[in-house]
Amino acid sequence: MNLEDYFERIGFNGPFEKADLETLKNVHMQHVLSVPFENLSVHCGEWISADLEPAYTKIVKNNRGGWCCENNQLFAWALKEMGYTYTTLGARVFNCPKNEFDQPETHLINKVLIDGKAYIADVSFGVSGQIHHPMELVSGKDHPQLPGVFRFVEKGGVWILEKSGRKPLIPNESFANSSLINKRLTAPIYSFTLTPRGIDHFRDAIKFLQTSPESLFTNKSICSLQTPTGFKALIGSTYSEVTYDYQEGVDLLI
């Protein structure tokens, strides 16, 4: 595995000698703009491994995308190669229909330490919940980004990532019930603790996500890519595009 090949894959050509916040922001942004969040392997008869090398081959060599355990594990490897101090964490995704956080930690994220401050890096949540830049781990602090205003809220050792978005403009009425639309302007995305997790912690979840009939990923194919103005998504057979802040305080879904 080669760091320069990874940089070429994500279109990053800036300096990386300093393991500082600016470099982390730039590499993080290039990853989310270049590598799709997708589960197409599940629907193409390809087994998704929990191991790093298959993820590297799939994303870097084969120019594919992946889901969180592939993208964020690859990003963790890049962090290590660049000299950052990081810890992998596990998150529970908010289940909107059930109005609660899923019990198993199915989402992999990374905590990065820079000059005594902790930042959450997550390059693979996808669609409207995708952060573009790492976020400082401070409870209650607003992080205005293109998709909306993100913040962490800490309660009893549990951290919740939430997002305040904008009102949606939907010219096509057939999209009125799309899962891409935030029903609430402020909504939770996932929760996590600061307990370090190794990749073995996620192996059962990775198996569940690609085999269980109860898994969202076995029931629906998903491919989304962030853009400088929003994101594009192919969910099932439906293609759509979101433009953030199309009008002041309004996101456009077409």
Query: pLDDT, tens digit, for every residue of 193-234?
Result: 999 999 999 999 999 999 999 999 999 999 999 999 999 999
Please tell me the distance from the alpha carbon of residue 68 to that of residue 65, in angstroms, as a whole number: 10
What is the three-class DSSP state of 85?
strand
Averaged pLDDT for residues 19-44: 98
Nearest C-alpha neighbor of 245 from the set 167, 130, 143, 162: 167
Determine the longest span between alpha carbons in the chain, in angstroms: 50
133 is catalytic: no
Greater model confidence, 174 or 88? 88
Cβ neighbours, 10 Å, residue 32:
25
Of residues 123, 21, 130, 132, the one with CA closest to residue 73: 123
Annotated catalytic residue within 107, 132, 143, 251: 107
142: annotated active-site residue: no
Strand partners, 114: 117
* pLDDT at 183 > cutoff 60: no
Catalytic option among 28, 31, 68, 132: 68
Q: Does the pTM of the predicted model rise above 0.85?
A: yes
3-state SS, residue 6: helix
Going by pLDDT thresholds of 50, 70 and 90, the confidence category of residue 167 is confident
* Nearest partner of 153 among 106, 190, 208, judged by Cα: 190
**In 3D, which of 129, 167, 168 has the Cα closest to residue 145?**
129
What is the per-residue pLDDT for 175? 65
Written as six digits, the tokens of 182 are 């935030």
pLDDT tens for 83-134 read: 999 999 999 999 988 889 998 999 999 999 999 999 999 999 999 999 999 9
Of 28, 122, 143, 251, catalytic: 122
Confidence class of residue 69 from pLDDT cuts 50, 70 and 90? very high
For the question of residue 68 being annotated catalytic, the response is: yes
Q: What is the DSSP annotation of 179-200?
A: TTS-SSSEEEEEEE-S----GG
